[in-house]
Structure 1
Amino acid sequence: MSRQGETSRTSSAADRLRRVAASPVDDVVPHPVLDVAPSATDRVRPGLDRVVFGVTAALALAFLVWGFISTDSLASVSGASLGWTMDKAGWLFVITASGFVVFVLWLALSRFGAITLGRDDEEPEFRTTSWVAMMFSAGMGIGLMFWGVSEPIAHLTTPPPGTEGGTEAEAMKTAMSTTLFHWTLHPWAIYAVVGLAIAYGVYRKGRVQLISAAFEPLLGRHARGPVGKVIDMLAIFATLFGSAASLGLGALQIGSGLEIVAGLDEVGNGLLVMVIVVLTVGFVASAVSGVARGIQWLSNINMVLALVLALFVFLVGPTIFVLNLLPTAIGGYVADLPTMAARTGAEGGDTSDWLQGWTVFYWAWWLSWTPFVGMFIARISRGRTIRQFVSGVLLVPSLVSLVWFCIFGGAAIDLQSSGAADIAGAASTESQLFTMLEAYPAATATSILVMVLVGIFFISGADAASIVMGTLSERGTTTPRRGTVVFWGVATGAVAAVMLLVGGSEALNGLQSITIVAALPFVLVMVGLAVALVKDLRADPVVLRRAYAREAVEQAVIAGVTEHGDDFVLSIESTGDGHDDKNDGDDQLVTVTTTSTGAGPR
């Protein structure tokens, strides 16, 4: 084989690429290996999508009317729906949640990890500290306040099925590992799937900020048709009920705090509804102010206040016990992870009931939050690589959750075990944090701080939810009209009130059951989203360029060995084809050739 023939083979890919790049833009579609910004014509026209908004708004209003007029009927239907969901689809929640953890880790560690969520040379839009603060506050801040004490204590006093009968130390280890299972890698992996799909589509491919737009690799033009509208409507419903559940939890905890701080009698539904109204007004006002002025400002304030509260409990509480608990909790989590991830209703009725109140509820809750948390994380993650995105979204909040539960859960476990306070015997789940704080100095001040934190945590998360529901209702615009945002904000507050009424005296059960049922359809959307994202990434310019480069170098090595044996080097040469009108070298064809070193045989 002649050297000329081999050189022609090795340079063919590069030649084709450079000829396309040098051709007039109007004459040819840009080559797929080039990082070319999509044209503005790819975007859907702005404005209210009357089908998406009209259908979802009508169904939301129908739910509200049903709940206020016939609460018992709604409670009966939701209970029956929950039973069917747990019986027929509980396994689906369990499998997909763990599958998403594996999926995002694979993306970060694979060849796709170097792809930028934006142009190749784009820098991150937000500083890392603000990025982490906004992501964490929007993702689960209010949940940490509600469950930081309650969940470790619940698992300590009532261990998960199959773990009963151990020593006190084993019970503590199981309580912490089960809590971390629900609050670390799994929820943030679920968020990361939607965040990656949206951020890649918007900043890399120039698509609109819609869940349906991320399905274009699978559905093509149908992603903008009726099928796409159904996907966006499911996303709105999941967001509405997920954020309403959080608002209900926040109202319960603030109501419990008012009982203790203000010395009120048992808080009834009337006061809880008033709390919901106040929080709703707060997050609607924040939402209409926009991301930079609203969410970022609140998130940074809350991060500081949460740090102050955590440091206080760490210093006045069992400091050494908490420090010892950190490695113990990590070890227990790693050791128990396979068992916890494989637990399903097949293990019996007790396990199924436990999953309904804990694991499946959490997976459904996280899934219902994914449209707005994922889209919000995508909104603030422009310019980061997939590897940076996954590292930040998966690991940083997980580490914060680990420290948070070790401080608050550890303090509660220490008080419970020593008999200094009966945390498990508190009047309600939502009051257990306040019961723990009463065992330490400045209980009134810290209890007030907790209520402030719960309120701001919810506001900073729910205003993101209102904006995202507005975005989904207005064809993906990043700045939905205030009227749309206000409508969804008010609807969230009203749905939260109905969910509390459905639960009756067991308000938490009402929040959990409706959340699980509402999240079920979105599980299938999430699976499709992951498939569409992989199909997108396989055609990314970074991936294609590597394939071109690998082919060119491989063929050059074959040519070099054929022509010169072991004694050759690769060189890059310009052919000088005359296309360089500006004489700056940009339009010169480049070829990979082999040259003998002249060293002779080895």
Structure 2
Amino acid sequence: MNDINPPFIDINIRTADAGFYQGYSLPITLASKITFALLTVWALLRPGSAEAILSLLNTEILGVFNMFYILAVGLFAWFLLIVAVVPSSGRRRLGKEDEKPEFTTFSWFAMMFGAGLGVGLMVYATAEPIGNWGNNPDIITGGTLAHSADAVTSAYRYTFMHYGIHAWGIYVLTGLCLAYYAYTRDMPLTIRTALTPLFGRHMNGPIGHLVDILGVVATILGVAVTIGFGISQLVEGFYSITGMEWLLQLGQDGRPPAPSSVGLIAALIVVMAMSTLSAVSGVGRGVKHLSNLNLVLSTMLLLVFVVFGSVLFSLSTYGSALVDYILHFPGLSFEAYSTGTALGDWQAGSTTFYWAWWIAFSPFVGLFLARISRGRTVREFVVGAVIAPSLVCFAWMAILGGTAIDLELSGVAQGAIIDASTTNMLFATLQFIVGEQVYGIVAIMCVALILTFLVTSADSGLLVINTIMAGGEEETDVRHRIVWGVLLTLVIGALIIAGGGGLIVLQNAMIIGALPFAFVMVAMCVSLGKALYRDHQRDRFADAETAGLVVDRMS
């Protein structure tokens, strides 16, 4: 074991010495800006061309790489569980041996919850269970009937899969890689660092720049889709409170009314202005306080459903669905279908879409998780950021979504929730369980919660983007946070306009941008496995040397 070399830690990301870009890597920053400037101009000047080409590319990617997405995400989940269980890796601390966490457990959980799945939970807490209740592999193969009592269990099996261990595992893999190298080896907190055990000094050149650029691109597109869904629900909420007709436009082909382009752009400007102001204040103030507010408001909304909703049905569903999910977890991890079949088309449009979304979101959430998790052990990080949030998401989906399903099963809703738009299902459900006067108060609280979730996600994204472009520096220039706030607003607005007010162009761009980073994540997984194994060998060698010295002294 004498031939174990020390780990490569000599990452040197050249940054500008002076001028507007002082402290920033010019190749990463300029390449990222040019990419999104061109995408914005293309979407604004040739919206039809942008929509058609992005749709075609998205279809081809899902057709070719559907199985890759499924297997890769299954690998991430099992890898993390093994790393947490193995004593030698689980007890390693992300920092010095005696280092204490920077944030309290409450604030830590609040920040990762708000940044990770806050907006997704608000939009899909009812929409995801209702959608899977009408269509999932069990229903497609004839095992059960859509919208029946028997279909509830399988509906939640796939709901829990999409928002459980696999989803959080994607985030935590990226976060663990970045935190491990940054805080145990004092390396820059940036994407390329995670590949140094595989590529060493090559990460200091063009390959390293490319990896960081892919991280920035994925982050912006992942955040863009999240904000897109969030502002759509925000507009639905404002309409339900105010009745302003300009906020909605009539649906086509029998679809329910949807937020108008004008409504979406207005909401986008408000959200991004608030997000940029929060990002300027930094993670220790703006993001922390907003995240704590998010958790408090989320708890209040959950209590509304506990008090007025179908709590007994929801709790029984939670228990049975959780057992069903655990029993099917191994199969769900690697269950891939060929596209072109009914099962494959469902998986590509549902599971693979989610995996691409979470992968695109992972540089942002992962780096953010790393920033707030210094001082925690690997096991604490995995359990605290994978298992605990998954259980909370399950409860959220079971209580909100279970109430919606029970209203439909009992005939009270009579299809009103099923027929509502994805971003309006939450408000449609609330209208059935609370009185008109109470609904106004609850709807205002929901709008406030959606808004704070959106601001938390966007400002955290802006902080992370700047960290990557600044070579891992956590304190970045305020001017660049403002510039990227404006650019992110323009990108989202342009893609919404290109989609005619819909979010499909945003989704297509995100899935395309996520694919290259998915390959980076597979390499990160292999890289971290190698690093943990080699560090374990180094520790054994050090212990053996220490024992040898003690024996020599005793003799």
Report if TM-score (shorter chain) is over 0.5: yes
Does residue 418 (structure 1) correspond to residue 391 (structure 2)? The answer is: no
Task: Give the TM-score, by structure 1 length.
Answer: 0.83
| Partner of residue 579, structure 1 | none
Does residue 480 (structure 1) correspond to residue 472 (structure 2)? The answer is: no
| Partner of residue 158, structure 2 | 178
Aligned CA distance change for structure 1 residues 336 and 480 (closer, same or farther; 3 Å): same
| Deviation, structure 1 residue 153 | 0.7
Preserved contact between residue 470 and residue 484 of structure 1 (Cα < 8 Å): yes
- The aligned runs of 1:307-456 (5 Å cut-off) are 307-346=299-338, 348-421=340-413, 422-441=415-434, 442-456=438-452
Task: Give the TM-score, by structure 2 length.
Answer: 0.90
Residue identity matched to 2:528: L
Aligned CA distance change for structure 1 residues 175 and 42 (closer, same or farther; 3 Å): closer
Within the candidate set 458, 478, 487, 1:462 is matched to: 458
Within the candidate set 103, 113, 117, 2:79 is matched to: 103
Within the candidate set 81, 104, 113, 1:127 is matched to: 104
| Deviation, structure 1 residue 177 | 1.1
- For residues 460 and 354 of structure 2, what CA distance do their matches in structure 1 show? 20
- For residues 31 and 472 of structure 1, what CA distance do their matches in structure 2 show? 28
**What's the CA shift string for 1:71-116, capped at 9, x where partnerless?**
1100010111011101111111111011000111111112211111
Residue identity matched to 1:491: L
| Deviation, structure 1 residue 32 | 5.8
Within the candidate set 485, 490, 512, 2:486 is matched to: 490
| Deviation, structure 1 residue 527 | 0.9
Does residue 242 (structure 1) correspond to residue 222 (structure 2)? The answer is: yes
| Partner of residue 259, structure 1 | 239
| Partner of residue 299, structure 1 | 291
| Deviation, structure 1 residue 145 | 0.1
Instruction: Quote the RMSD (CA, aligned, Å).
Output: 2.4
Report the more deviating stretch, 437-446 or 344-353: 344-353
Residue identity matched to 1:485: R
Aligned CA distance change for structure 1 residues 511 and 352 (closer, same or farther; 3 Å): farther
- The aligned runs of 1:279-290 (5 Å cut-off) are 279-290=271-282
- The aligned runs of 1:4-43 (5 Å cut-off) are none
- For residues 504 and 413 of structure 1, what CA distance do their matches in structure 2 show? 31
State which structure, 1 or 2, has the greater radius of gyration over its C-alpha atoms.
Answer: 1
| Partner of residue 159, structure 1 | 136
| Deviation, structure 1 residue 551 | 8.5
What is the number of residues matched between the two proteins? 527
Preserved contact between residue 42 and residue 50 of structure 2 (Cα < 8 Å): yes
| Deviation, structure 1 residue 369 | 0.8
**What's the CA shift string for 1:534-562, capped at 9, x where partnerless?**
2222332x653335546987xx9xxxxxx
Preserved contact between residue 149 and residue 412 of structure 1 (Cα < 8 Å): yes
Report the more deviating stretch, 444-453 or 182-191: 444-453
Preserved contact between residue 213 and residue 224 of structure 1 (Cα < 8 Å): no
| Deviation, structure 1 residue 193 | 1.1
Q: Describe the SS at the equivalent of 2:338.
A: helix
Aligned CA distance change for structure 1 residues 336 and 162 (closer, same or farther; 3 Å): farther
Q: Describe the SS at the equivalent of 2:551.
A: strand
- For residues 456 and 98 of structure 2, what CA distance do their matches in structure 1 show? 31
Gaps of 5+ in 1: 1-12, 17-29, 557-588, 596-602
- For residues 418 and 539 of structure 2, what CA distance do their matches in structure 1 show? 62
| Partner of residue 91, structure 2 | 114
Give the share of equivalent positions with the same residue, in percent: 34
Does residue 271 (structure 1) correspond to residue 294 (structure 2)? The answer is: no
- Runs of 4+ that moved beyond 4 A: 30-33, 41-46, 550-553, 592-595
| Partner of residue 221, structure 1 | 201
Residue identity matched to 2:315: L
| Partner of residue 253, structure 2 | none
**What's the CA shift string for 1:374-404, capped at 9, x where partnerless?**
0010001111111111111111100110110
Q: Describe the SS at the equivalent of 1:143.
A: helix
| Partner of residue 18, structure 2 | none
| Partner of residue 4, structure 1 | none
Does residue 200 (structure 1) correspond to residue 200 (structure 2)? The answer is: no
Report the more deviating stretch, 112-121 or 140-149: 112-121
| Partner of residue 573, structure 1 | none
Gaps of 5+ in 2: 16-22, 249-258
Aligned CA distance change for structure 1 residues 423 and 342 (closer, same or farther; 3 Å): farther
Preserved contact between residue 375 and residue 468 of structure 1 (Cα < 8 Å): yes
**What's the CA shift string for 1:143-196, capped at 9, x where partnerless?**
000000011111112334635452633201111111000001001111111111
| Partner of residue 514, structure 1 | 509
Preserved contact between residue 420 and residue 428 of structure 2 (Cα < 8 Å): no
Preserved contact between residue 426 and residue 435 of structure 1 (Cα < 8 Å): no
Preserved contact between residue 417 and residue 428 of structure 2 (Cα < 8 Å): no
Does residue 72 (structure 1) correspond to residue 48 (structure 2)? The answer is: yes
Residue identity matched to 1:61: A
| Partner of residue 169, structure 1 | 149
Report the more deviating stretch, 145-154 or 344-353: 344-353
Q: Describe the SS at the equivalent of 1:122.
A: coil
| Deviation, structure 1 residue 417 | 0.7
- For residues 515 and 416 of structure 2, what CA distance do their matches in structure 1 show? 34
Does residue 537 (structure 1) correspond to residue 532 (structure 2)? The answer is: yes
Aligned CA distance change for structure 1 residues 551 and 473 (closer, same or farther; 3 Å): closer
- For residues 42 and 101 of structure 1, what CA distance do their matches in structure 2 show? 28
- For residues 398 and 41 of structure 2, what CA distance do their matches in structure 1 show? 43
Q: Describe the SS at the equivalent of 1:438.
A: helix
